[in-house]
Chains A and B, each alone.
Chain A
Amino acid sequence: MFKNVLFINALLLLLISSTFLSCQSKPEPILYGEDECDNCKMTISDPKYGAELITDKGKIFKFDSIECLADYSTKVESGTIGSMWVADFSNPENLINALDALYLKSDRLRSPMGLNLSAFNNSPELEKVINEFGGDRISWTDLIKYVSEKWN
């Protein structure tokens, strides 16, 4: 009997913890080659440019490029965005918060949707890439403006 109660308690704990886990607004790894971009429908395949948007309710949308994330973020109702994440160009497995990231627009780094935007975690990494490939820094707000000018 006691064993049973313990078992049920353990099960309950597992259930509760798993529900809490699913509610956190951490980004989920993008399955390159399998996941489809929620903005442009393309299969996401280049890890250097992946991006994610998590709504305030925890639903995750994935994108093949920063420009698709930017475009999508302007189409959803304001206030419903929980967080946004972009792949670090120099270390693509690492997703960084879109509002903390540093952005580069360089015609020699061709992103999947042709607007050639890439994201970096820190200034030294960004400088290194600018020295090699050229291009201009761009802020998140200017980036949003640039994408909506180009696509609308």
Chain B
Amino acid sequence: MLQKSIRFFDVTSRWIKFFLIAIVCFLNSSEAKTIRVGANYKFQTIQSALSFAVNGDSILVSKGLYSEGTIIIDKSIALIGESLPVISGDNKYEIMKIVSDNVIVRGFEFRDAGINFIYENSAIKLDGVANCRIEKNVFFNNFFGIYLSRSVSCTITDNEITAFQTKETYSGNGIHLWQCGDMIIKRNKIKGHRDGIYFEFVKRSSIKDNLSENNLRYGLHFMFSDSCSYAHNYFTNNGAGVAVMFTKNVDMHSNHFKNNWGGSAYGLLLKDISDSRIYNNIFSKNSCAIYLEGCNRISTERNDFIENGWALRLMANSMDNVFTKNNFAGNTFDVTTNSTRNYNLFESNYWSEYKGYDLNKDGIGDVPYRPVKLFSFISEKIRPSLILIRSLFVDIINLAENIFPTLTPEGLIDRKPMMKKIQ
């Protein structure tokens, strides 16, 4: 009887051994395992879990504060936070550096990446990678937020990025891209950085549905980029508005540019831009809605310019731009220029200042409209003369110039001004 039971035990223990080995083999051969990190688990730091992980694994991080210097991700893994664990840079370090393709980072709060001017410390830096996803994270008080360099095909979505510096020199950019291609930046909220979103040498990328506000310099800043688009974004209360510079083929549509006030602030600053399209945007309450310098072949169509200081400031070195079907309402100056010639086309816009009539009732004013007033022309050349605005003297010279145009550009004229606001 005893013998029998011992033998039985022997057999079962053998079976158990076999099972254990099978399970281990299965785990090793399976493509992805999940590693848990947290105070109650074997791995208590993200870095230790990362060194154990292999390509394809997921790391699940529980709620808590993780402060591990710079975390380097050099494997294709998914790093996922449960109920927003905090990773801190202790105001000293870069928090995370991703150098591998196919990495996902989701659901963390990154805080206090330290200021370092030369290394440009960031909450997350991605360097030379492809197909990474940074989504649903919160960034709080970092020098740079998300920094991508020499990377392609990554998506940055649903992040909330906030910083609190008051001086531009001590502040980095919220989302910074340098030498990248095919990126998607979507549904992020960026506040209080130097530039909300910064693109330098970026190609074929899109920026959509973001909110960029109260940034110290520009809400969005393009430099030397090509074939990018930004649409349905909201840019408000930024230090100097949005700047698009030295760039080709930009699609800018359905954005809001609002409340960018100041001496060198613009709703949209365009410098050396060519072959681009601006449509269905709303520009309201900016010092200057659009400033164009050295811009060629830009079509500006169906935008609303409402209650700006200047709706358009068009510099002499801009050519072959078309402005059509826009609404200009309640701006102090509709158009100013520093040139006496005009190589741009204005047609079929609605101007709230237009005082003409429409006898044949076709909706088009019978008298052409000249959006450049003599006074706006003078104030463009002699800025202090602005003190005379709204004076009787100014009204008189504007009227005289309107009847006998001598100084304002003869060709800058809308021959088909619309009688009603364009819907």
Binds B, one of A20-28, A43-51, A77-85: A43-51
Chain A contacts for B95, CB-based, 8 A? none
In the complex, B239 has a CB within 8 A of chain A:
yes
Given A33-B167, A33-B168, also A43-B223 (CB < 8 A): no
| Cα A32 to Cα B243 with chains together (Å) | 17
In the complex, B271 has a CB within 8 A of chain A:
yes
A41 touches B271 (CB 8 A): yes
Most chain B CB neighbours (cut-off 10 Å) among A35, A41, A47: A41
Q: Which of B169, B178, B223 contacts A33 (CB 8 A)?
A: B169
B194 touches A45 (CB 8 A): yes
User: CB-nearest residue of chain A relative to B224?
Assistant: A114
A45 touches B168 (CB 8 A): yes
Q: Which of B117, B240, B263 contacts A48 (CB 8 A)?
A: B117
The number of residues on chain B lying at the interface, defined by a beta carbon within 8 Å of a beta carbon of chain A, is 24
Chain A contacts for B291, CB-based, 8 A? 41
Least CB distance from A33 to B in Å reads: 3
In the complex, A109 has a CB within 8 A of chain B:
yes
B240 touches A114 (CB 8 A): no
Chain A contacts for B245, CB-based, 8 A? 40-42
| Cα A114 to Cα B117 with chains together (Å) | 16
Least CB distance from A35 to B in Å reads: 8
Chain B contacts for A128, CB-based, 8 A? none
B271 touches A43 (CB 8 A): no
In the complex, B201 has a CB within 8 A of chain A:
yes
A40 touches B271 (CB 8 A): yes
**In the complex, chain B residues 218-267 whose Cβ is within 8 Å of any chain A Cβ:** 218, 223-224, 239-240, 243, 245, 263-264
Chain B contacts for A45, CB-based, 8 A? 168-169, 194, 216-217
Most chain B CB neighbours (cut-off 10 Å) among A34, A42, A114, A133: A42
Q: Which of A40, A43, A110 contacts B240 (CB 8 A)?
A: A43
User: CB-nearest residue of chain B relative to A36?
Assistant: B264
Least CB distance from B6 to A in Å reads: 72
A41 touches B293 (CB 8 A): yes
Chain B contacts for A43, CB-based, 8 A? 168, 217-218, 239-240, 264
B117 touches A110 (CB 8 A): no
Chain B contacts for A35, CB-based, 8 A? 264
Chain A contacts for B152, CB-based, 8 A? none
| Cα A46 to Cα B117 with chains together (Å) | 9
Given A40-B245, A42-B243, A43-B239, also A114-B168 (CB < 8 A): no
Chain B contacts for A34, CB-based, 8 A? 264
Q: Mark B191-212, 1 if CB is under 8 A from A, else 0.
A: 0001000001100000000000
Least CB distance from A88 to B in Å reads: 14
| Cα A48 to Cα B170 with chains together (Å) | 12
Chain B contacts for A48, CB-based, 8 A? 117
Least CB distance from B237 to A in Å reads: 15
| Cα A48 to Cα B216 with chains together (Å) | 18
Chain A contacts for B223, CB-based, 8 A? 113-114
Chain A contacts for B167, CB-based, 8 A? 32-33
In the complex, B161 has a CB within 8 A of chain A:
no
A33 touches B200 (CB 8 A): no
User: CB-nearest residue of chain B relative to A47?
Assistant: B169
Q: Which of B118, B200, B217, B239 contacts A114 (CB 8 A)?
A: B200
Q: Mark A93-123, 1 if CB is under 8 A from B, else 0.
A: 0000000000000000110011000000000
User: CB-nearest residue of chain A relative to B117?
Assistant: A48
Most chain B CB neighbours (cut-off 10 Å) among A32, A43, A47: A43
Least CB distance from B367 to A in Å reads: 36
| Cα A113 to Cα B245 with chains together (Å) | 10
| Cα A114 to Cα B178 with chains together (Å) | 10
Chain B contacts for A114, CB-based, 8 A? 200-201, 223-224
A33 touches B271 (CB 8 A): no
Q: List 22 A-B contacts (CB under 8 A).
A: A32-B167, A32-B168, A33-B169, A33-B216, A36-B264, A40-B245, A40-B271, A41-B243, A41-B245, A42-B245, A43-B217, A43-B218, A45-B194, A45-B217, A46-B169, A47-B169, A110-B178, A113-B223, A114-B200, A114-B201, A114-B223, A133-B118
Residues of A within 8 A of B (CB): 32-36, 40-43, 45-48, 109-110, 113-114, 133
Which A-B residue pairs are the 9 nearest by beta carbons? A33-B168, A36-B264, A45-B168, A32-B169, A43-B240, A43-B217, A41-B271, A47-B169, A45-B217
Residues of B within 8 A of A (CB): 117-118, 167-169, 178, 194, 200-201, 216-218, 223-224, 239-240, 243, 245, 263-264, 269, 271, 291, 293
